Amino acid sequence: MLDLFSEEQPWQETLAEGAVILRRRAREDAEALYQQIMAIAEQNPFAHRITPGGHRMSVAMTNCGDFCWSVDSRGYQYQQQDNLNGRKWPAMPPLFRTLAQQAASEAGFPGFNPDACLLNRYEPGAKLTLHQDKDEKDLRQPIVSVSLGLPAVFQFGGFERGDSTQRVLLEHGDIVVWGGPSRLRYHGILPLKPGVHPLVGAWRYNLTFRRAF
């Protein structure tokens, strides 16, 4: 039986051209990453944002970095302040930036320097519908996505919402990187199943690094 929390060595798995999973790549840094997430949440708590259509997102979010992704009645955009409280986002911890840069380089995208990190917190039942990351100014820059905590099923599709998707289990410490010819592929997360992770409890945390400007 597979032990989801075992300490096997990292390896790389290809999803498509320009898209890879770096399995277990963040496990060594997981405890330090989690502590930094908690410190960021103390400064700017996780919150369930309301979409332009008036729907409450099932995923709670916060951010760190110079420019961070947000959503409100006006739509989706990058901002230097949180539109809920008007304060600047917390700075991106050096550990976050270094991990994102190293992961991008290992996936074939050297020189990545993120200026935004979206932190999502999933509780059981939370999901992220299929979408494209296309609000960034330079779409030549990759997306780096780090998973911590409970496992989740990642959907990775094509360039139209109705295209068929791959369904891949993402576990604690996995990093997905996609860019180049895969940069605008649709992707999402199926509803999270209940469980308890020894580090983060009954949650899944996702750190998504972008170059917004």
Q: Which residues are annotated as a binding site?
A: 69, 76-78, 120-122, 131, 133, 135, 161, 187, 204-210
- Annotated binding residues for Fe cation, written as ranges, equal 131, 133, 187
- Count of beta carbons in the 10 Å neighbourhood of residue 132: 15
The Cα 69–Cα 119 span in angstroms is: 10
The Cα 153–Cα 155 span in angstroms is: 7
In the chain, the amino acid numbered 132 is Q
**Neighbouring-strand partners of residue 210:** 116
Contact of 144 with 100, CB cutoff 8 Å:
yes
The Cα 187–Cα 185 span in angstroms is: 6
Side-chain half-sphere exposure of 169, counting CA atoms within 13 A = 8
Contact of 11 with 23, CB cutoff 8 Å:
yes
- Annotated binding residues for 2-oxoglutarate, written as ranges, equal 120-122, 204-210
- Annotated binding residues for substrate, written as ranges, equal 69, 76-78, 135, 161
- Count of beta carbons in the 10 Å neighbourhood of residue 193: 12
Number of helical (H) and strand (E) elements in the chain, helices listed first: 2, 13
